[in-house]
Structure 1
């Protein structure tokens, strides 16, 4: 891969490099760490067999103290993670929902940290998962290790910046908003910064918008660093970082972790003496061992971190931080250049790839870059007296903000000029929001290998790590080198075969005879192929029949907003139940209402495929309208398809099928969340049963539900039985006798799809 310097690092050798006069500080922790682990410090390796055995025993001891029953799958995972870290061998783990994977990786993480004396970093996909580890899991581990230190590290932008708040208060920085803000909430936010102990946005007053928060916080490239800041001793982010340096386990999110890895570079360490050297980390504490939860999202996050996003409004930010340093006329020129770029981006009516090296887009980018560089030159030439630390801090921050803008603009221009560049540049917009100019590497594998896997040992887990039961697709996407990784797939604790059905409304042109002699009739396809003109009407009719049988209690997952909106309005006129829809309210409130109203129906797209968990009686039916193949007009995925073709591989089977398999597995996984959950997953896309070239891969990625194509004979009776059990408040056990085993091979030996 040609591109070797991700966003967030400076490449001085590039012919169009920004070369900001004063690059941002990256090591913001200006304190004596003589009692903590430093980069280059060595830690003794552990014996993998002993680590495996010890982790399993510690997990059993912990569960015993908690009065919980142990699970074989959880024990297997804990031993595998411990062995991986001790042997310095990367690990891929598929751990289905209900495995108890948090404790299965936290117990070996604690043992590794305590045995080696070096911290283990746990990386989660979201801040919510971070908080769960801290609030729910940390107290459990304390039952076994009372002195175990677990610390949370969020990105610098999650904390209020006292320096910036002071600049707003004394008028040295303007607050120029691109949107209307509530002055009362804005005032509450400023007052809160004077009284808060944490400075964490999670503790901020209600109603604070992203626009407001952006004015009182800074990103890692904007911060002037502890050595240059008058508020270093009070800094909320610094305090969190210092606390993390003494931790056994540091919990962070994948975005911050990859940013830290990118800034930290790819220095190699010499472990030939049988000891591990701790690689340097600019943000996180120096560490060797990493555990990644929800690792199926890691490559997607890496695309964002190693890429560039240029959004309208940065010009006003530059004007605000440079106020008083440069004449207003020159700053107005930056704002005008930002506006001209927006106007050019608006000329692209659809999301699609663009060439930044030609046409009006090139002119707009170049003009913007020249305007920012001109301001940076002026600011760099300002001489600040030693007796004026506040002025020096203001200059430093201005240069950091300018340097970040120069770096991003120059990177996009380089992508258009370098024929061998493997980045794709595109304009993204949907007509509802301002368009964004984006750039991302087509293949993040080489970058992950260089900045993460070549420097540290990483154990990665997810409920959907495999594609068709195979780990190779995930390993290739992540850039794992053959021979450097192991894998383990642990069984689910749930009885999918007896507690659920997978229904596909396809046809079968001959009767089906069960093992017990029961004969089911031939059946016609109730829904045509997803491209048929009457697909939506017939899919809605079928969905309505299932919702009526289930008496609500349904989660409907869609692959497009149009389908979601059309079906939502159609259902609201026809069912006596509350129909909730994504977009009507914040997702958290929708889920709370869905859980509270047992017979409601929830319609979701996008985040609903992974972000919804409704265990218990609220969800006994999950309906998926189509196989979630990625869009054909997605610029980044199209570039990945082209790369696969260039490498003489099928773009469809190398790119589309793996992505669809993981997303489909996530959607199907919304049904069974506890051992007592029962229900039906209905996939209305008949290609799942008929397309022999790939349906085996998709089906092999799903839980082992019984499968059915018979609506009246099996699916509706099953849903009615569950609804009756709900009415009687008796938890259903297993599958009602009306539903019988479906032979996997025969069940989908049906007629071709209609389209």
Structure 2
């Protein structure tokens, strides 16, 4: 299992899996359980093979740091060790661990090649692996195969499209869309073989795609859907299983049950919510009894009983919600509020319909979460008892890897670690700009100052900037403001088309500005002057309503530890480092990372964040940024 990215978790919908018939990507590696070794030198073989792969890449350069990573992975795989590696952006991690894994002898007792799973934190990184990195490895293994698995909403839903065609469901547009783009989408839907949004025509916005896709909460399941046999999402999962054996990625834990209990109390009542809370503690106790580092199954022992209790409690809460909904006539089939987001009429010119009350909305949210959890609990119950169930998570702040190792539940004395330095001279190649003069971003006057400063920075770079936001609201507000002020650059806004199409345009159109949210903080590779500047609006602290993180905060506070220092600050540091890492991608790159949040220069915790970032030369003067960029562009 490889986890590639700043923070990837199986409970995070952004974490997409890459099962392959040969290995893959990440910072967490496990390998040959028999501990067997061979007469050859696996580290030397991996370095030599990596050199051949890099030589075949246009502009490819051998990097000592990348070769060190490949050698460490090869040695760990050969020795059957668990390896945790930390490496900054730009090292070439993907090829660094893919090459030695492809070369490794992964045959089982029957001679079959054991699969490898790569989990990425974003779909952009997934796309980079599939379109760029993995095809390069076929020179090492002509039989190399791979498959991708994404969240259900990334695939065309034939049931939804059929319901629109037969007039049983309206196309519910949340914004005015291009009728020609709708026609192109419909034509593509008739021809596509995989239904993957990544292959949809250009110009398919998020609003358009939402009409022909469903989330896990909305899907009734393949067994109950008349289009289950031709479901693109189910076919993608089947291809992954065929390629990589059994792939199981269900995350059920006490944190989700506690969240459901809290949200369920005001909507379903104290008694059913209390049973869910009790089930959460029973499950926590059962998980605490599991042996560290060993595979477990959900069909045996205390875990089986705890899961059964959880399933019964969640089912009881949902039954109460359904009864309340029937009384209020507020919920339709499938747990969605009647009229939730509904629009009068259909097609691109549809107009908004009336809204519904807040109580019904909250009931629908809890009902949807309960339904998803029940489906996952059922999947656990029906899981083959001969197969393993694993909980996997990756990522941490730079420096000490022991917090990561402890959080994974790995015995520290049985884990090999490797920390790889950056191959770049960041202090010479780039600048880190933090405007101390701006007000605190929690004050309303910050937004006007941040937008005006963004304009000045974009002008200094001539566009050529990736602008990363921590919220959709600020993304749209800034993009609209730039458009209203007739920005002379091509504005590319996340949601206007598929992510990989936006990234391709950003690379190709020199005077372009790409405005995006968290899913673009990783996996965006635009070397050279295509990306001369990365602007980050605010420090990327995690949301307060994430149930998994809420459970971690509760655990820290129960032990009288700082939840902010233990949960929020490390996550922000990793995300900030990943966002800043979009800038310097080669030894010839230069540019500016601008973080428009003065807390990075003034807060007591700033050193934790700064230490995790690339060591760019720091400044608080925008004039220094303008001079640096002007000098670079003059010499380009």
Asked if TM exceeds 0.5, the reply is: yes
| Corresponding residue for residue 315 of structure 2 | 410
Cα contact 1:199–1:236 (8 A) shared by 2? no
- Closer, same or farther in 2 for the Cα pair 1:239/1:543, shift >3 Å? closer
1:84 to 76, 85, 96: 76
CA distance in structure 2 between the partners assigned to 1:230 and 1:652 by the alignment: 47
1:140 alignment partner, one of 136, 140, 147: 136
Distance 1:558 1:590 in 2: 16
Q: Which whole-Å deviations, capped at 9, do the CAs of 1:185-228 have from their partners, x for residues lacking one?
A: 89857854xxx76677766788784554569xx98963599xxx
1:167-246 equivalences in 2 (<5 Å): 176-177=168-169, 179-180=171-172, 192=191, 209=209, 212=212, 222-223=222-223, 240=239, 244=243
Residue 19 of structure 1 is matched in structure 2 by none
Which consecutive residues of structure 1, in runs of 5 or more, have no partner in the other structure? 1-5, 8-41, 251-255, 263-301, 310-351, 367-402, 417-426, 442-447, 507-525, 731-755
1:214–1:112 Cα change, 3 Å: same
Specify whether residues 109 and 688 from structure 1 end up closer, same or farther in structure 2 by C-alpha distance, changes over 3 A only: same
- Give the count of matched residue pairs: 499
The residue number in structure 1 matching 2:268 is 361
CA RMSD of aligned residues (A): 5.3
Partners of 1:305 and 1:534 in 2: CA distance: 41
Instruction: Output the CA distance in 2 between the equivalents of 1:132 and 1:586.
Output: 17
* TM-fit CA distance, 1:505: 2.5
Deviation at 1:61, TM superposition (A): 4.6
DSSP 3-state at the match of 1:602: strand
Give 1:277's aligned residue: none
Residue 358 of structure 1 and its aligned partner are, at CA, apart by: 4.3
Question: Aligned with 1:77: secondary structure?
Answer: helix
Q: Is the 8 Å Cα contact of residues 153 and 244 (structure 1) preserved in structure 2?
A: no
- Check the 8 A contact 2:69/2:96 in 1, yes or no: yes
Given that residues 580 and 590 in structure 1 are in contact (C-alpha distance below 8 angstroms), is that contact kept between their aligned partners in structure 2? no
Compared with structure 1, are the counterparts of its residues 679 and 357 closer, same or farther at alpha carbon in structure 2 (3 Å cutoff)? closer
SS where residue 580 of structure 1 aligns? strand
| Corresponding residue to 2:43 among 42, 52, 67 | 52
**TM-score in terms of structure 1 length:** 0.54
Structure exhibiting the larger radius of gyration computed from Cα positions: 1
CA distance in 2, matches of 1:54, 1:458: 32
Residues 441-476 of structure 1: per-residue CA shift (max 9 Å, x gap): 9xxxxxx9xx9xx96999998xxx441422234334
- Per-residue CA distance 1:626-678 (angstroms, 9 max, x = gap): 22223445555344322211022111100110111011112212222233221
**Equivalent position to 1:654, from 535, 556, 566:** 566
Contact preservation (8 Å) 2:450, 2:596: yes
> Secondary structure, in 3 states, of the residue corresponding to 1:623?
strand
Q: 1:415 to 1:653 in 2, by over 3 A?
A: farther
**1:474-513 equivalences in 2 (<5 Å):** 474-506=404-436
* Alignment correspondent of 2:578: 666
In 2: Cα distance, 1:635 partner to 1:481 partner: 27
Contact 1:59–1:75, Cα closer than 8 Å, also in 2:
yes
The alpha-carbon deviation at position 592 of structure 1 amounts to 4.4
Aligned partners of 1:643, 1:87: CA distance in 2, in Å?
36
| Structure 2 stretches lacking a partner, 5+ long | 1-9, 12-31, 174-178, 274-307, 322-334, 343-360, 374-379
Task: Classify 1:608/1:231 alpha carbon distance in 2 versus 1 (closer, same or farther; 3 Å).
Answer: closer
**How far apart in 2 are the matches of 1:184 and 1:573?**
29
- 8 Å CA contact 1:93, 1:460 repeated in 2: no
1:623-662 matches, cutoff 5 A: 623-632=535-544, 634=546, 636-662=548-574
Q: Give 1 or 2: higher helix fraction.
A: 2
- State the distance in 1 between where 2:391 and 2:46 align: 17
Residue number among 65, 87, 91 corresponding to 1:73 in the alignment:
65
Residues 1:689 and 2:601 aligned together: yes
Task: Tell me the equivalent position of 2:469.
Answer: 558
What is the alpha-carbon distance in structure 2 between the residues aligned to residue 243 and residue 674 of structure 1?
37
Answer whether contact 1:177 1:211 (CA < 8 A) is retained: no
Q: Distance in 2 between matches of 1:612 and 1:641?
A: 31
Alpha-carbon spacing, 1:177–1:93, altered in 2? closer, same or farther (3 Å) = farther
Residue 611 of structure 2 is matched in structure 1 by 700
Partner in structure 2 of residue 149 of structure 1: 144
Corresponding residue for residue 622 of structure 2:
711
CA distance in 2, matches of 1:105, 1:536: 42
Distance 1:563 1:631 in 2: 15
Matching of residues 430-449 of structure 1 within 5 Å: 436-437=365-366, 438=369
Shift of 1:237: 5.9
Once the two structures are TM-superposed, the CA of residue 244 in structure 1 deviates from its matched residue by: 1.8
- The residue that corresponds to 1:741 in the other structure is none
* 1:594 positional shift: 3.7
